Amino acid sequence: MQGFDTAEMAESSTSQNTVNTHRRSILYRTGFKNTQKLVLAVISHGDAVKWH
């Protein structure tokens, strides 16, 4: 699975700092250690992924 890295996401209209901040916030709130694990959980379990 391949997604956009921070620099690619920031090219559109937001800064790299904003992208990183939101990514860290989402990972913290879901309890996952990295984006790949979060994406796999969402694909596998959908709405069952819990937010803190």
C-alpha dist (Å) from residue 25 to 14, 18, 31, 49: 16, 11, 10, 15
Tell me if 4 is assigned to some domain: no
Tell me if 19 is assigned to some domain: yes
Range of the domain at 42: 10-48
Tell me if 3 is assigned to some domain: no
Give the pLDDT of residue 25.
Answer: 94
Q: Per the structure, how many domains does the chain have?
A: 1
Give the pLDDT of residue 50.
Answer: 81
Tell me if 21 is assigned to some domain: yes
Tell me if 1 is assigned to some domain: no
pTM of the model: 0.67
Give the pLDDT of residue 13.
Answer: 67
pLDDT in tens, the chain (52 residues): 566 776 776 666 678 888 889 989 999 999 999 988 998 998 898 878 888 7
Give the pLDDT of residue 10.
Answer: 65
> Torsion angle of alpha carbons 23, 33, 43, 52, nearest 10°?
-70
Taking Cα atoms as reference points, which of 34, 29, 33 lies closest to residue 49? 29
